[in-house]
């Protein structure tokens, strides 16, 4: 269903501005409709007494369908990040060919890309998606295998289902928005807004997780709590990366630098705040992973006008943000160690 967005790109024809405006409006309207629908249907989705369909309760069906839609949307080629990955790999191979002794370093976003900002994680950081999707597959399997009256674990998964479904809807819409048709600043903001909305939805799911964490089983913790917390942490940082790309396309270098510093310290502070207030170490660990990757990348661009000093300072800021997140993990787990 995403293929029509690539029709003009495949034909190498310019997409009319009116068509871009309509597409952006449709995506935003779909996101608003999904939010309204989930808010209205949430009690029914999470109900333990609602009538089953094909032997599945609404929360089980919605959990499985949301995951399927998410995976399907992500698998459709043609997104901007797919093209950036191919270019970055070619860039790394070319650099290696020039200097056989040089270490091949693949950037997530090519050094000369218009989407590259000062707040960009190194390519290796995106390997976390494999763990997230594998964990969420286990989440769906656990939900489908849950018998009626499954106790605290079932109640927790039921409570999470509406927010989880909304987060998957926003991610599918992001897959439609993060494409060449929306590369202009007047449309590029849509993908950033969708990631922020997804982070909010995952934050709502995370609150539901924490409310039931103490009574749920260990199996539920590893198959449901951990992957959703990882997803929440990663999307929180992905939203900042997307925002910084938007700023890089629109603003002067001093604004880009200020946004990158605020993102580094803000992500570290957010990771520490969530972990210290909830006692969940997973979120801050993912934030630390992302900020370490930002520090590893270095923010250098082929068209860079900034000197090395501010770039090195930004690298240090990302490292300190990661350390703050890791410190919060240690502090949050001290009561458990004391017990």
- Block means of pLDDT (10 residues each) for the chain, 339 residues, are 49 73 95 96 88 84 95 92 73 67 60 82 92 95 76 83 96 94 90 96 91 74 93 96 91 91 96 94 97 90 75 94 96 74
Q: What is the pLDDT of residue 231?
A: 97
Per-residue model confidence (pLDDT) at position 128: 96
Mind spelling out the 3-state secondary structure of the chain? CCHHHHHHHHHCCCCCHHHHHHHHHHHHHHHHHHHHHHHHHHHHHCCCCCCCECCECHHHHHHHHHHHHHHHHHHCCCCHHHHHHHHHHHHHHHHHHHCCCCCCCCECCCCCCCCCCCCCCEHHHHHHHHHHHHHHHHHHHHHHHCCCCCCHHHHHHHHHHHHHHHHHHHHHHHHHHCCHHHCCHHHHHHHHHHHHHHHHHHHHHHHHHHHHCCCCCHHHHHHHHHHHHHHHHHHHHHHHHHHHHHHHHHCCHHHHHHHHHHHHHHHHHHHHHHHHHHCCHHHHHHHHHHHHHHHHHCCCCCCCCCCHHHHHHHHHHHHHHHHHHHHHHHHHHHHHHHC
The Cα 60–Cα 140 span in angstroms is: 8
Distance CA(234)–CA(312), nearest Å, equals: 24
Specify the pTM: 0.89
Structure confidence at residue 104 (pLDDT) = 52
At residue 153, the pLDDT reads 77
Q: Are 153 and 216 in contact (CB under 8 A)?
A: yes
pLDDT value of position 249: 86
Give the C-alpha distances (Å, rounded to integers) separating 110 from 91, 138, 166, 195.
7, 34, 32, 22
């995506």: which residue's tokens?
27
CB contact at 8 A, 259 and 244: yes
Q: Is 221 exposed, middle or buried (0-12, 13-18, 19+ CB in 10 A)?
A: middle
For residue 12, is it left (φ>0), alpha (ψ between -120 and 50) or beta?
left
């Amino acid at each position: 269903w995403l293929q029509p967005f690539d029709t003009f790109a495949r034909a190498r024809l310019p997409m009319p501005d009116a068509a871009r405006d309509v597409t952006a409006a449709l995506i935003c309207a779909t996101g608003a409709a999904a939010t309204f629908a989930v808010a209205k249907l949430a009690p029914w989705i999470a109900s333990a007494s609602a009538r089953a369909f094909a032997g599945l309760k609404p929360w089980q069906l919605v959990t499985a369908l949301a995951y399927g839609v998410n995976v399907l949307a992500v698998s459709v080629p043609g997104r901007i990040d797919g093209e950036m990955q191919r270019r970055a790999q070619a860039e790394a191979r070319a650099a290696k060919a020039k200097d056989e002794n040089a270490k091949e370093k693949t950037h997530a976003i090519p050094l000369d890309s218009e989407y590259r900002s000062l707040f960009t994680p190194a390519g290796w950081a995106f390997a976390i998606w494999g763990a997230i999707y594998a964990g969420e597959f286990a989440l769906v399997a656990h939900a489908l295998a849950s018998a009626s009256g499954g106790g605290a674990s079932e109640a927790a998964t039921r409570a999470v289902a509406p927010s989880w479904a909304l987060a998957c809807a926003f991610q599918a819409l992001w897959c439609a928005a993060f494409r060449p048709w929306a590369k202009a600043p007047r449309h590029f903001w849509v993908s950033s807004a969708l990631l922020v909305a997804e982070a909010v939805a995952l934050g709502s799911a995370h609150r539901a997780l924490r409310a039931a964490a103490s009574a749920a089983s260990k199996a539920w913790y590893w198959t449901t709590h951990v992957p959703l917390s990882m997803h929440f942490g990663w999307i929180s940082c992905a939203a900042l990366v997307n925002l910084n790309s938007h700023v890089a396309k629109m603003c002067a270098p001093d604004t880009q630098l200020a946004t990158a510093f605020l993102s580094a310290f803000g992500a570290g502070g957010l990771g520490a705040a969530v972990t210290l207030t909830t006692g969940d170490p997973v979120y801050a660990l993912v934030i630390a992973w992302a900020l370490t990757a930002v520090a590893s990348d270095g923010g250098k661009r082929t068209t860079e006008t900034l000197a090395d000093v501010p770039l090195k300072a930004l690298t240090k800021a990302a490292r300190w943000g990661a350390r703050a997140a890791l410190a919060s993990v240690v502090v949050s787990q001290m009561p458990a160690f004391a017990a």
